[in-house]
Structure 1
Amino acid sequence: MISVLFAVLTALSNGAASVLQRRAALNVPAGEAMRLSLMGHLLRQKVWLCGIVLVIVAAVCQAVALATGPIAVVQPIFVIELPATLLLAGVVMRVRVPRTVWYGVSAVTVGLAVAMAAAAPVGGRESVPGGDWFPALVVTGLFEAALITAALGSDGNARAALLGLAAACGYALTAALMKDAMAQLDEGGVTGLLTAWQLYATAAAGVGALFLLQNALHAGSLAAVQPMLTLGDALISIAYGVTLFGEELRTGWWLLPQLAGAALIAVGCVVLARSPLAGGNAPPAPRVR
């Protein structure tokens, strides 16, 4: 129950952060794409810094959630981040929530419920045997390289979607490393945590994922980025949970409702990301011809 509560808090923080970071990315010159100077432009914007504060809050909540629950349960809950944030924004700003937003919220909520009920993730170990990390990191690196290469060969929303998926993979890896690092805390206390390579790998993966996300938001619309980010994070995290932590999911005919739930989530994310409450209709930054 604690893991679910903190997963929800993580989703709320991450959803709000994505919207703030997208708005900040619109003010960055197009020529800064895929350069470290992009971060310099963002650091000078208060709206982006507010988003980073929320990212830090989300990281703390995520660590608690992963330390107390299976990764295949915690990470999929994060798909509610966008609908929850939009509804909260409507209440705070006293703006009437459009009917389409409610459709999107319903699609994401029902999709998540169906997918989780069908998958029924259980079991798993708290830590990962050291030797299992090497093939996982190699495969992840190759996948990331392929996505980034494909993104550099495209532009607009296609680039945004590819970089959004690359960022999702980075965040999923960050979650897996974070869960393993928290296990070192349980086993060896603070000393065990501070001497664990997983802690520093978590920081490196998180910074890399953040950099990819900023470039994704800079390349195209939130509607192109959010579904890839949300679903990609959930699905890749589940893959890590099964392969690294030994968590189990239902298979066979149960895959059909799982796929149906994922499709509903994807549709809901697109609808919500296009909402004015998310800034989804704002035009992307100008491209260099």
Structure 2
Amino acid sequence: MPRDPGSADGRRHHGSVISVLFAVLTAFSNGAASVLQRRAARTVPDSEAMRLSLIGHLVRQRLWLAGIGLVIVAAVCQAVALATGPIAVVQPIFVIELPATLLMAAFVMRVRLPRRVWYGVAAVTSGLALGMASAAPGGGSTSVHGMAWVPALILTGLFEAALIGAALGSRGNTRGALLGVAAACGYALTAALMKDAMARLEGGGGATALLTSWQLYATAAAGVGALFLLQNALQAGTLVAVQPMLTLGDALISVAYGVTLFGEELRTGWWVLPELVALALITAGCVELARSPLAAGTPAPPAKRMR
């Protein structure tokens, strides 16, 4: 029987559809922004790494500013998605951002994608479908209860400090990968804080409750920190090293926040096996796609352009 739109199940289904739709829009915007920011970051000298002057170099580049514009669009779409669905549903959908971006770039530039890229697209999308079907994330509350944020923020800070410390002691792709994970953790934290902040709108206090909540301003701080780490990751290493760490790290750490802070549920037991297969597919697909010249912002040679 069809769901009654006025019933509790009907409202949950409607909210789930909206959250998935806006999560997909977020993925498209974030994917395009990542490629634009990668092209801009590669023009910055190595001497500017982990310095605020790095941002000074980037703001003078139109590509980077266009990427920031897309980041803002993505943030709005993400807020809607998180306000209407579980974080463990919304954040993993973002793994499609890279394949979606490559497909859009190929269409706009009229470039014929090689077969290996299509294999990568198939691996990521099928891995996401398998993972979501196996884990079946759902349930949970819309806000964080009590003092649960205190240990979560402490552990997150220690994890970030360890990653950044290890990154500063390395170079090249290793530094890029470590900073990519650190940026992913920052974006996952941003999503969790954003979801908790958006819950204030439904708590009866309206916009006033949202504007006076510490979570809103912590969201902005975490987002800026994650953006700074991402720029340094892209400047230090190749997209092949950074993108898989960013994509998978964001999804996995977000799921961890969803389960521990919001009480969301995932299937366990034998379902873990197909979930691991899904992770392997997504990882292999992201690595393959990140190797594409389009992902690095390099046009394909004329011989491969579509007529």
Please indicate the TM-score interval, normalised by the length of the shorter structure: over 0.9
Residue 21 of structure 2 corresponds to which residue in structure 1? Answer: 5
* 2:123 matches 1:107: yes
Gaps of 5+ in 1: 283-289
Q: Shift of residue 154 of structure 1?
A: 0.5
For 2:184 and 2:42, locate their aligned partners in 1 and report how far apart those are by CA, in whole Å. Answer: 21
Name the structure 1 match of 2:249: 232
Task: Quote the Cα distance in structure 2 between the aligned partners of 1:39 and 1:202.
Answer: 20
Root-mean-square deviation (CA), in Å?
A: 1.0
Say which is worse superposed, 169-178 or 271-280, in terms of deviation. 271-280
| TM-score (structure 1 length as normaliser) | 0.96
For 2:248 and 2:298, locate their aligned partners in 1 and report how far apart those are by CA, in whole Å.
21
1:91 is matched with: 107
Partner of 1:67: 83
Is 1:217–2:234 an aligned residue pair? yes
Match of 2:280 among 263, 268, 283: 263
CA contact (8 A) 1:274 1:281 kept: no
Tell me the equivalent position of 2:10: none
Aligned to 1:142: 158
In the comparison of the two structures, how many residue pairs are matched? 282
Compute the TM-score of the two structures, normalised by the length of structure 2.
0.91
User: Mind listing any 5+ residue stretches in structure 2 that lack a counterpart?
Assistant: 1-16, 300-307
Distance 1:237 1:130 in 2: 20
Instruction: State the shift of 1:130 in Å.
Output: 3.5
- Matching residue's letter, 1:162: L
Q: Which has the larger radius of gyration?
A: 2
Q: Partners of 1:272 and 1:26 in 2: how far apart?
A: 19
Residues 1:58 and 2:74 aligned together: yes
How far residue 281 of structure 1 moved from its aligned partner, in angstroms, is 7.5
State the one-letter code of the partner of 2:200. Q
Percentage of matched positions with identical amino acids: 80
Residues 104, 267 of structure 1: 8 Å contact kept: yes
- Opposite residue 207 of structure 1, the aligned amino acid is V
- For residue 130 of structure 1, give the secondary structure of its aligned residue in structure 2: coil
1:280 deviation in Å? Answer: 7.1
* Equivalent in the alignment of 1:246: 263
The residue correspondences of 1:137-176 to structure 2 (distance < 5 A) are 137-176=153-192
Q: Cα deviations across residues 130-173 of structure 1 (Å, max 9, x unaligned)?
A: 30000000000000000000000100000000000000000000
For residues 189-200 of structure 1, the aligned pairs below 5 Å read 189-200=206-217
Q: CA deviation at 1:202?
A: 0.1
Partners of 1:76 and 1:274 in 2: CA distance:
22
Distance, in Å, in 2 between the alignment partners of 1:160 and 1:200 is 28
Aligned to 2:302: none
Q: What residue identity is the alignment partner of 1:63?
A: A
Q: Are the equivalent residues in 1 in contact too, given 2:36–2:297 (CA < 8 A)?
A: no
